[in-house]
Amino acid sequence: MRLHLCVVGRLNARTPEASLIDDYITRADRTGRALGLGPVSISEVEAKKGGMAAEADLLRRAIPSGAVVVTLDERGALLTSPEFSEKLAGWRDNGRQDLAFVIGGADGIDPGLRAEADFSISFGKMVWPHMMVRVMLTEQIYRAASILAGAPYHRA
């Protein structure tokens, strides 16, 4: 199952966040491929002056047809890392080819796009900068692959 991060905003390649994201994606690809998870790709769309609705239109175009759509939103489900890995495995085991994680811009995700999502995940009640959410999500994807592989990275 291919994993897509569909995100608002462009990340400068020289930032510490970019380095962390690249590292976790490399690890996730290495661990996940044998498990049917990956590759992980990122599709960045421009933040628009038209706000969330304009960004939602661009995000919809970035989401592969037929993909499971998962929004990252403060109103989403709070999952443990093992629960997250089980969700990924469930979608994969049900024959889904693509999974798109959607991360909004400064104002969040358009309510219409949120309503279209198959699932929504929260990284807590606090609001996180979207660049940090990318880091946390890529780390959790790698952690999920490690859990599914039985690797010692996750210690519970």
pLDDT tens-place string over residues 77-90 = 999 999 999 999 99
pLDDT of residue 156: 64
Per residue in 102-143, pLDDT (tens digit) is 999 988 999 999 999 999 999 999 888 888 999 999 999 999
Label residue 152 by pLDDT band (50, 70, 90). confident
Hey, where are the domains in the chain? Answer: 2-149
Tokens standing for 1? 């199952």
pLDDT of residue 71: 98
Interatomic CA distance for residues 134 and 14, integer angstroms: 15
Interatomic CA distance for residues 105 and 108, integer angstroms: 5
Interatomic CA distance for residues 82 and 80, integer angstroms: 5
pLDDT of residue 31: 95
pLDDT of residue 2: 98
**CATH fold of the domain at 2-149:** Alpha/beta knot (3.40.1280)
Report, as an integer, the average pLDDT of 63-86.
Answer: 97
